[in-house]
Structure formats: C-alpha cells, structure tokens
Structure 1
Amino acid sequence: MQGSAHTTAPPAEARRITISYAGYNRAWAVWIADRLERYGWQVAFQRFDLPAGVQLHEALTDLLLVRGRILVVLSDWYFKLGPRTDQEWNEALRAVVAPNSARFHAVSVSTAPMPSATAAFGGTTELWGLGAREAERRLIQLVGAFEERDPARDTLGGSQGPRFPMELPRVWGGVPRRNSRFTGRERLLQSIHDQVQNAEPGTGVVALLGLSGVGKTQVAAEYAWRFSSSYDLVWWVPADQRGTLRQRLAELAPSLNLTTGPEYGERLRAVGDALRRGRPYARWLVVLDGADSPETIADLVPTGNGHVLITSQNGAWGDYNNTHLLPVPVYEREESVAFVRRRAPRIGRDDADLLARTLGDLPLALDQTAGWLSDSTMTVREYVGLLRDDEDIEVGLRVAVDFDTSYPTAFSILLNRLRETVPEAVELLRLCAFFAPGAIPVQLLREIPAEHLPEQLAGLMSDPLRWNTATNKLVQYSVIQWDPPNTDEDPEAAGTIMLHGMVQRTVRSGMSEVDREVFSRAVRRGLANADPAVPTDTRLWPRYARIVPHLDASGALYSRHADMHTLIRNCLRYLYLAGEYVAGIQLTDRVERAWREVFGEGHPLLRDLASQQAMLLRATGEYARTERINRGLLRRLEEEGRGDDSLDVLRVLEGLGADLRGLGRYEEALDTSERVLAGRRRMIGEEDFRTLNSRNNLAVTLRLLGRYRDALVEDRRTLQTRREVLRARNSSTLSSETNYAIDLRLLGRYAEAQSIQEPNVEVQRTVMGHDHPQTLSAELNLALCLLRSGERTAAHERLADLLERAERALGEASPATQRIAACYAFVLRSHGRLDLAREIGERTTRRYRQALGAEHPFTVGTLANHALLLRAAGEREEALELNEQCLIRMTDALGPDHPWRLGLALNLSADRNIAGDVESAAELSRDTARRAAEHPSLGREHPLTLSCKVAHATDLRNLRQRAEADKTEEEALTGLISTLGSQHVHTVSARARVRPFWDFEPQLT
C-alpha cells in the first residue's frame, strides 16, 4: 500500500483533493473524505449538479478550476444527471479528462455499467460490495497517503465518524426502500441537513409541508438513506393516527434492548426516555410520515439531541416543538424532465417536457404515468391527446380542488391499462380504497372472510403467487408502496400497504355505487373480525389503534349492521380508556351525524352514543355541557316510563353524578351516586364491574365532601373486589389503588399512602403508559405524598416534570393539567420562586373561573392559594382581604366544617394576626381547631387539627395568655410527634414556632 509517512511535508497544493459526487452518493463522499483526512489529505467537496442548459464538457472543465487533485465518485447516478447519454459522456470524458488524467482519480460505488471512456481517469478502483477495511485499503492505494493513520482516531465499526455506506445504522426500521429514480430536490435535502445539524439540542425538528402527491414522503425517505451514515438509529413512523404513532414508537423498545413488559404503555415510556437521554444511541432520526394533525400528536414527538423529520400538509406544525417548516413544491421543470426520462428512458426531452407541463409537474402523477408509458406502445402525444379528449375515459373522476384536475383523468388511463393486464391488481386496489389512506396493515385485509370478498379476490389472499403478482404490479406503477413484515418487531405482522390519499380518492370516485357497497362491506367485515372485543385490556390497544383509522373510510359509521355498532362502541371505549379524549370526541361527532342520517332522531343507538360522548367531554372538563346531555337523556327515558329499575337510567344517572361533581354540586352528586349504587347492587350484584364503578364514584363524591374516612371504607372495598375479580394489573384496579392512597394521605397517614403509591406508579407507567391521564394522576398523588412527608425537593422536581408532560399530552386546560398546575404553584411558592408561582397560580385560577364559575370550590381554593402568595410577597393587606372573601365563599359552598373551609380559616387567622387583629385571630383559630377536632374524618390527631392548635397557641401567646398557649402548644407537639415523628418537617416547624399554613389541592372528580 502506498502511504508511508513523508519526512518533509509536501506543499498544501499537493495535499488537497476535491471529491466530486452526485447528491445521491453523499454518504460515500462523506465516508471517503473522513478516511482521506486520517491520512493527511485536505478534502473539499463539490456536488456535481448538471443543469439542463449546461454542456457536459463545460461542467467537467469547471472541475479543473479547483486546486489539487480530483476524486470522482462514479455511479449510474453521476452519469444519469441531466440525464445524458453514454455517447455524450464518452465525448466529454475524452475531451476533458483524458488530457488531464494526472489530476483525476475515480472510485466506483455501483454495479451498473459505466461509459467506456471512464478509462480516461488516471486511476480507478471498485468500492461497491467491499467491507470497510478493504475499501479503505483500496482508496489509499489509489490516491496515496501523507501521514500514518493514528490508531486512536480509528472509528471503523465505531460511532464517532461517518458509517461505511454499505452498512445501515444499528437500528433501522420501517424506512421505505430507496427510490432508485429519485430526482432533484438537492437544495431541499441540503436545507433539511443544515437545519437539524445547526439546531440547538432538543430543537432538531423539521416539518416538510406540501400538498398531497408533491413528494414529501419521497424526500423524507431519500434524506434518511442519504444521511444514514450520520445516525445510529433511524425509525420511520406512520403518523396519520395517534394510536398508530404510539404503537410504532413502542415497537422501537426491543431494538433499543430496553427491558420492558409486553404492554405498549411501558414500551412507549421507555422509548421516550431512551431517546431523550440519548442512550444507547445519541445520533438518532425519527421520521413521522403523514402527520397532518399536530394538535393530536405533538406531545408524542420525541425529544432529545436526535432529529425528527415530519411530513405534513398542516402548517400549524410551526406552533409546536420548535419545529422548522420547509415547503415542498412541485418539481421544477428541469427536475420533471429528468425524472420522466429516468422513469421511462424511451421518452425524449421534448416529450418529457410536454408530459410534465400537462401534469403540472406533480411528482406522483409523473411517476405513475411515466411508469406505465414506459411499458406501453402509446406515445406521449397520443396520451396527452387522450387527456384533452377524454370521451373514452371513466367519467366523474375528480378529487379535491387543491389538486391538479388532470391527475384523476391521468390516473384513470393508467387504471384502464392495468385492468387489461393484471385485473386482480385493480380489484385489490379497489378493496384497499375502502381503508383510510396511509398505512393499511395486510393483517386487516386477511381478516376479511372469503365469503365476503368480491369474486375476483376470493382466492387472492390465500395464493402467494397471485398476491405477489398483483402487489408487484401496483408497486411497479407506483400505485402503492409495500413495506414487508418485520417479524422481529411483531411475529404476527403480515406487512403493510401504503396507499396515497390521491390514489384512494381517485379510485373510489371512479366506482359505481354497487361496487362501492360490495367493497366497503367486505372491509367492514374484516374490521369487525379484527375487533378483539375487550377494549379494557391494555394489551389489546395496539389492535384497536390499527382499526380506528379505517372506520370512516370503510363506511362503518353508516352501517346498519349490529357488529359495526359494537365495533364503534368498543373503539370509543378504547379511546376513552387510552386517554385519547380529543380523538374520541371527534369520532363521536362523526358517528352522531352518520347515525342521525341513517336512523333518525330518538334511536336507542344515539342515546348510547350520547352517554359515551358525555364521558369523553367530561374528561376534558366540559361539565356544563355533559350535564345538559345527561338531563336530556333522563327526560327521554322518563317519558318512556323508565325508572331506577332500568340499567339505562342508572347508566345516565352515573354520568350525571360525575357532571355534578365536576360542577361542585357535591351533595346532589352524593344523592345520585347512592341511588345508582343501590340500584346496581339490587339488579346486577356486588361484583359486577358496573357496581364496582358505582362504588368507586361514591367514594370520589365522599372525598370531595371531606368525608375521607367514609371514602376510605368504600375505596378499600372496591380495591379488594377489583383485585379478586379483575386482577391486580387491570386499569380499574390500579385506579382504585391510587384512590385508596389518596384517602390515606388526606387522613394524614402519609407513610402508608406513599408505600402504596410508589409501586402503583411504576405499574401504571408499565400498563397505561408514561403520559396516560391515569398515570399522571397517580404520579401527582405520589408527589404530594413526598411533599407531606417532608421530601420537598423531590416533590418539586416531580411536579415540574408532571406539568410539562401533562401540558404536552393533555393540553393546558385539561382537568388533570389544572390539578397539577395548582399543586406546582404552591410548591414553587414554598421554594421562594414567587414570580413563576404567581404566573402559574393566576393562570390556573383564571381557567377555573372561566370554566366553572367564580363560586366553584376549585376557583375559591386556588384564590386562597394566591392569597398565601400575596402574603409571602409582602402584600399583606391584599392577602387579608382576599382570604376574608374566600372564607365566606367556601363556607357558602360547602358549610362551616368542610376540611377545605377549615384550611382557609387557618390561613385567615394568620392574616388577622399579622394585621394586628389578635383577638379575632385567636377566636377564629380556636373555632377552627375545635371544628377540626370534632370532624369525623379529621379528629384530634390529624395534621390539620394539630396545625390549627399550633396556630391557636401563637394567637394565645400574642394575647399574653401564656399558660394556655404553652398547654395548647404542648398538646399539638405531642400529637405531631405521635402522628408524624419528632423529625418530620411539620413537627420541627411547630417546635420552632413557625406558624403553619394550608394549601388548597383540587381533587379528582
């Protein structure tokens, strides 16, 4: 091998080499440069672009203007630029390269035949098909070396330098096959690369925006292939549906060697953490394809130091995740011409220009049309004539107004020709058109019973030869993309068909009503067969995630078949249980419109749907609206003569009870909850899951009323039964554990509560997912357990993380986010971060006032928290005035003995004391301590009662009643030591005579 070290350094000119390459071969150029630099070369790059108006010999002559030697990366891509014929290349190589052969070297990275005049290069070597070490040896043998390579800088097989182009990243999943006909887009690809490489950590997110058919997916795929050597992980995710996105991200866990259980919630959390930490791979790329609804999936966009590439038609991505928007226009005319000539070599430049002009430079239309014209005897001019005179073309083919109107007609010609050669391919395409565009799991196709398939397709699914013939032809003409199954990720996978939205709409628009019904019915039967029928089982959620996207396209919403109604109910139930409230609400709206049209007003299906709609709306805090829905349902049932002996009535009453809890009308909610529980116990028994739900709801109502001991009794009973009947990892059982732990904490039994909540959180993350509303609720309770146990720093860190996750996953205004924000605000205040605490607290109060009204206990309680902040900020008069108002309003809402009212009274007594109204303060603290001691759920040993006694001792001391003050203080300290321990933060503070305060915490409703 050449390359021994020189004793005298050669001049810089001699050490310089410029690599000339086609953009398609960038990975090779980068790797070659990295190797050469290790041997002392000074490397420059020159991407070889060849505009249509530039002569070949001129472009090659321009290469000679660079200093030093020139290394050309030869491939069919280098020679096809333009594209130019072999004759043109031979003439240019002989004229320019041959006389300057001493300056030129070449490496071949392709198996395609090269023009014969490539012999004019001073030296060539073959790199394709070699291993990295042999390729490096040949490269240095070709060009020589100026230095010995430093072994410490050797990264072959490592992760520091660019990867050898023949090796894919360690993790590579779902990326479409590389398009060997990809053309142009060089500036766009470079813009993507520059944007993500120059982005600050955590902001490397780029969204490719453009109309359907413009080639966004192809650009993203080419970027993944072209820059793959820069990454250790590349993962492609269909992102048109939230459920599909969650499922696909979760499937990354095994590839990252993450130790998780089978539930995708646990896998999803583990994957998010691994990407965020950059372990095991810091250099990662995730592509979210077809992400047209950022409002529903933005919280799932991975974060960390890796890169995210999004394809979308929705410019709203600019408002999310520090996303940089890059528009993808139609081809420039030069790109269109080059693409057509590459796709169909028999088409000349003028004809390619005519075709591009006719089809509006739309890449999808050019791809499909040139593909079949390449196999056809029809000339371009004859084809264009057909487009202009479409008498023999299927009529009615028109799609959305934002597409070029020539596309439907152009596609119908292709379809007609395809029908003449492989009719089964057309029938398969017609079947696929009744799934949603995007990813169609082949397993759903195979769920269709043979007797429901159109006659032409009856044997296709079970005959591999016929199946392959049909799909291969559709792929050949770019009508579909085919992603083969990855059995390592999913042993049951059968592959995925990717159907473009323009293709789907155009195929459907060209079918008769009779054919549409035949094919849509077949797809509906397949979806019904795929229904696992147990939406409560979190292990089955990935199956529902595959079904939900196709309900609309299949016509399921307008079906009269009972199986379809069951499927829709199960899908809505899954969306609710999975915490996908917005998607569920959107689906109920569409189903409601469809069912009103099909069945008319008053149909029982609409009544059932309204209950599910109310359940989803309630989860987003729409309590007034859901009360109206349930009141209307009750009236209709009463008009039908239904009473409490009807399960339908009890179901609606259960929803109404939840509405009343949300609206702060707790006594009404208690009457309703007791009525529902009694009815269900009588009609369906104690252990039915509906009865258990009713007992759970009764406990929630009791807790809101401050009856914590009664709530504990009900929650303990529910938890025991759910563990026996539903098992320990059932989502309802896990929810009961959280509720039980909340009861214990509110009763002052902090250590017991924490001992239950800590393992529960870990299981919730595993079963439900990291950002599921139920998991967030469990983690909030754990943070408050830590806070009450004195671990304030840990509680602060958890709440900060919780609020960020809740805002991302559920939105800033969701009930769960509001509860977390209220708690985080008072913890921030206790840490002295008053400005941020004020900002978050005021925002939370404002939202409660807007959503629930000024007199709602949550509004009043968060206002009282704000009064504590005002006191801490030195605004004592304002704090006193605000607390006086809050105490009156909380008393009016809940009565004088509710724990929330007693907590506000504790705070107000301090404000009065500070203001110098010592007698009034002592009177209020004495009354508050007495009421707390007599309260059935608090009693003499509860931390709130003992805090009230500590406050009263302070007031007595200020009144110079020292004997009584000392006695009261001693009683309080003895109680705190007995209940919490001598070193608990409350005990230590009381011993130091720090006046206690009470923070309002919004409860689960």
Structure 2
Amino acid sequence: MSGNGGRTLPDSDFFISYTSEDRAWAEWIAWQLEQDGYRVLIQAWDMVPGSNWVHRMQAGVRESSRTVAVLSRTYLSSVYGQAEWHAAWRDDPLGERQQLLVLRVEDCERPGLLGAVVSVDLFGVDEAASRRRLHEAVRGALTGRLKPSVPPGFPGGPRAVTVRPQFPGALAEIWHVPARNPAFTGREAELSLLHKAFRTGATVHALLGMAGVGKSQLMVEYAHRHSADFDVVWWIPAEDPALIPDHLAALGRELGAPDGALTGLRDRQRWLVVFDDADDPAAVRDHLPPGSGLVVVTTRRNGFRALGEVVELGVLDRPDSVALVRRRLPAVSGEDADRLAAALGDLPLAIEQTSAYMDVTGVPVPGYLELLRTDAAALIRQGHVRHHRGTLATLWNPALRALAREHPAARQLLGVLVHLAPEPVPLDLFTAHPEVLPPPLAAAVTRPVEFANAVGALVDHYLVRRTAGELRFAHDLVRHSVRVALSREHDDAPGLSGMRVPGPFTDMPLIALDLLAAHLPGRIADAPEDLSRWQALLPHVLAACAADHPTSATAWLLDRAATFLHVHDRPEEAEPLFARAVAIAETVYGPEHPNVATCLTNYGGLLRDLGRPADALPLLERARAVDSVSEPGPRSVAANLSGIGLVLLDLGRPGEARPVLEDAFAITLEANGPGHPDVAVARRRLEAAAESEAAAAYHRRSPPLARKRLRG
C-alpha cells in the first residue's frame, strides 16, 4: 500500500473506521491492537500533512484485512463512516472471514445490515474489562510486525503519538463535575458543534441560552463524553460570584498548588473549567485561569462576548423532543409525544418536569394538554426534576428580582407584556401612549435611549427577543412563568421579596386593556393601516380580554374585535365576544346607555348573518328601546333601525320593515348628505323593502290558482 507522503506501508491487519467525535475511542482501540502486535491504519496517526486522506481511507478499507467500525450515534449519521463499513460488509456479507468488526462505544441502535453483524460493547465497564472484550473481538486476526515496547519518540515522523492515549471511559485525574443525567437525549448536533468550537484555539467560550434550555446538562454530558481529553475537569457554580473564590481554592488544593488554582493551571494544558450559570461577565473575568486550557461559561445573560466566543443554545429539535418524551414516558405514542412536545415548545426542562408529573399522577397526554390550556399557571408548579432546583414557576425569579432592583421601567413593561399574547408586540403600542402608563415607564417611553435600555434589559435576561419594531417573549412558557411570579409579588412567599416596584401587578391587565383601546381604530377596515393594525393586535386583544375585567375598555375591545371577525368571515368566533361585550357594557354603563345599544345592534347584525333572524330581533328591539331613552348619535340610531328592518324582511314581514327602513334612510340622509355612500346603501334597502311589500300584496290579491302557479 502506497501513500502517506510517498512512503510505502505494509498492508494493515485492521483499518479503524470512526468519526472525529469518537477519536479518543479510536486511538485507544488502535493502541491496544498495536500493543498486541497487530498492524493498524488509523487516520489520526497515519494521515500526515500532504497525504490525500480520502484516497488513503479508500485504500485502507480495500487493503486492510479487517475493518473496525467504532459505532456511535454520530458514526451512524456519517456519510464516510457508512461508505467504509459498507465496503467491508460487501466483501464478506456472510461474515465468514470476519472482515467487519463492530465495536459499540455508546448505547445506540444497529440499523439495517449492521443489525445482522454481532457487535461488542466497549462502554459501560472499566478499562480492563473493555480491553478483554476487545481482545476477544479480534481473536484469530492475522498478526504481523512487532511493535516497540515503548511509545514512539520524535513527533515529526509520520506517526506523531508520544503519549499513550487515555482510556475514553475513564474520568480525568482531577474531576469535579455533577452526575450525568441518565435521561439525556439528543443534542448530537450541538455536542458536535461545541466540540468543534472548543478546538478553534479560543480559551474562553460562553454557552448562551434561556433558562430551562439545558445549558448545564449539555456541558455535563460534554464533560463526561470527553473526559479522556482532559487531566483536570472542574465545575464551579457561578450564580453567586462571592462563592467563586472558594471553589477555585478547592481546585487549588486538588492541584497541590499552594498559591491557588490559577497558578496551578498555568503550566498545564489539558484542563477544563466550567463556570455554571454565571450572571456577570465582570465577576467571571477576575477569576479566569491563565494558560492554554479551556474555560466554558454557561449563562442566560448577554455581554460575555467580551470574554471570548459565544455559542447560543436553542430549544430541542422536534425529533429530540419526541425522543425525550418517549424515554421518560415509554407508553406514550409517537403522535401524543409530538403533541406534548409542541405544546411545551420543545423546552427541555418543561418536558422533564411534565414527564415527572405525568409519571407520578398517571395523567394521559390529552388530559395534560387540557390542563395546560385551562390552568397553565397552576400546572407549571407541578412536577420535580432531579437535577434542577425549583420548577418552571420559579425559574425566572432571579431575573425578576434583578429587574425590580436595577430596571423598574423594564419590570413594568414586562408586567404589561404578560397580559398580551405570545405573538410579536409592536413597540409603538407603548411609545404612542405614555398617558396610559405608570411611572417610571411613562417617562421612559418618551425618551428613546431610556426605552431602548428598558427593552434591552429584558433581552439581556433572555426574557424577550427584539426585532427592529417589535418584541416577543423568548418562549411562551416564559410568559406563563413570569405571570405566575408577578401575580404573587404581594404575597409573602419565600424567594419573591425584592420584586415589588411602582405600579402593582393588579393594575397591569387594566393598563394592557387601556393601551390596546387607545391604539386601535374604532372603524373597522376604513383604511389599509387600520386593517393591518387590527390584524397585528387582534391576538393581544383576545389575550387581554380573556379575563373578565368589567371596564369600558374591555367592552369596547370585545365589540370591536367581534366586529373585525364578523367582517372577515369568522362569525362563529365573533358570537361569544359580542355576548361578553353586551354583558360587560351593561355592567359598566347600566342597561340604558347608548354604548349598550351599539353592542346590541352589532350582536343582532351578526345573528342575522348567521341565519338566525328570530334571535337577532329581540336584541335589536332592546337597542331601539335604549335609543329611545338616551341620546345616541344618528349613526348608531340608523344602524339599529336598518338592522331591525332587514331582520323583519328575513322573517317575511315587509310591511313592518318598510317604515323602519324609511326612518333609517331619513336619518342617514340628514346626517351625511345625499352623496354619501351610506345614503345609497340605505336607499337600496328601502327599495328592497318596497319591492318585497309589493310582491307580498300581489301574492295576497292573486286567485288561489295563480298563487299556486307562482309557487310552482
């Protein structure tokens, strides 16, 4: 076999097929085999600069006696890995010459043809047991050249291996890391991304993500998987900066460094220090170890780019979410697992907590989803996750305390946002109406820099995301959790002290309603900008009006939202809103107020369009009675009379409809003048009534036979 910079190598007994993620296992296997006298071809040692590695790998599969597949989840998704083991299987499909040896290095499937090949598990046991299993797997293989009894020397040769590879299953010599999460699922792409990022040469990396997304669990898993890459791995809880020196002192004692960990790590290279859940870049900067090891900071705060590279972690991909649900709840079907993952927004902590709750209570997925829909505030307090303190209901309390202390205007802004929908909220909803807002937010929205700082504080704590003109919650469960926490701000519950700011939480839903009422036009779709504003804010109107706050703003918003839905062919959604608008208007204004008549008229018009004129007529007649004792505007009176006239026509009573429509036409003409479009509409309605009345009169005068012919 030729290659490797022109040097001719003898045929190999074993070609090691692996991915870069499993290099530690591959090198350990190669070392054991060569120590036993076998000839091994492995990319890590034999692909020196200048060689064509694709050609060498093809030649390795073709000319080596056997191929060793280092099997893992990453290997199964590798295009090159599949090509290499397929080539070995093709030459020996029945396994009579044992040309393909499958060594599993983690718990993973053996799909397709691999399922027919007997594999050996090297993981889950100590090094001695793993070595014995390896020896048994290669028993009977051909032997050849004798390997020296000591490791190779000068690293400039074609095989730069000077230190015996550490057994991948062994922990670092100095090890202080939380226990591995036995339910850890997925995140293979993220683990691969981290591994590549950590090998770029930068010393400090920040793993950034919202609370509950699994930053700490990902780093715990990474540390365990790559423990063989380090001699020192040390975990420092960094939420309280005052305790960081104590954790570093403990590391210094383990290192045997009397001057502390920072001195002890200076001359070492293979070390990893994790500052978990750090909040302040300045607090971490003062404690960064020197040297060429690796520092990783997990955080939910921005600002860590000043220390090094930032890797952002999002929620789980849906397949990983479904896999996590089914791992925790094996009896759940794939379809139900997908529905549950979707409802929880693929947030890992939410899935873990929900699974724990369902496991204990036996609540099925449909039942849980209904509870989540009707009482999310209570549900997010339920369930215990072994590796996490608290629940989703308390997850964002530290951020709320910091906002109350440092950014009261931002805290008030958040208090309004939780009463709106999870959809994007236009920022001009706030800046256009300072008169509705409490201080200090009222002043902040009039000063662009202060308002930018208030929004930025929410972004910094990973509570919301911002675009040029909008902001929205980073996750819908953030909205639920913050709403629960803020609703209890006046209680004496432990951990909630320090959240109180001017503008009590009980005022915030009313402020949200007043903001929407001030911002939305009363006329529906009179202009394109009115239509777009209603389309953007309708979800927020529905969310803000979900609770029964008997205010004038609530009644107006419900009536206008129902009218918008009615105009846009969504009458079934509009009906319950109209009913609530009437009830709240009667409570706020009294039963004989013109605003009540307006709501009754609009509700009656909807029922007529739904083909229920008999239900519409009593509402419209009630509105007419209210108009008779109040002082409504001409537009309102004309709309009510038109509605009554049209319903009477639908009920086959044109004689009663015509005088009502005559009154409606006269009022419209007087209010608007002869050229107004509303006058033309009123005239057509009156003409239709006259035609219907004439037809009915002719029908009554016709002889019975003629009427029969007319009907026939």
Q: Normalised by the size of structure 1, how large is the TM-score?
A: 0.36
Structure ID, larger Rg: 2
| Richer in helix (by share) | 1
TM-score normalised by the chain length of structure 2? 0.48
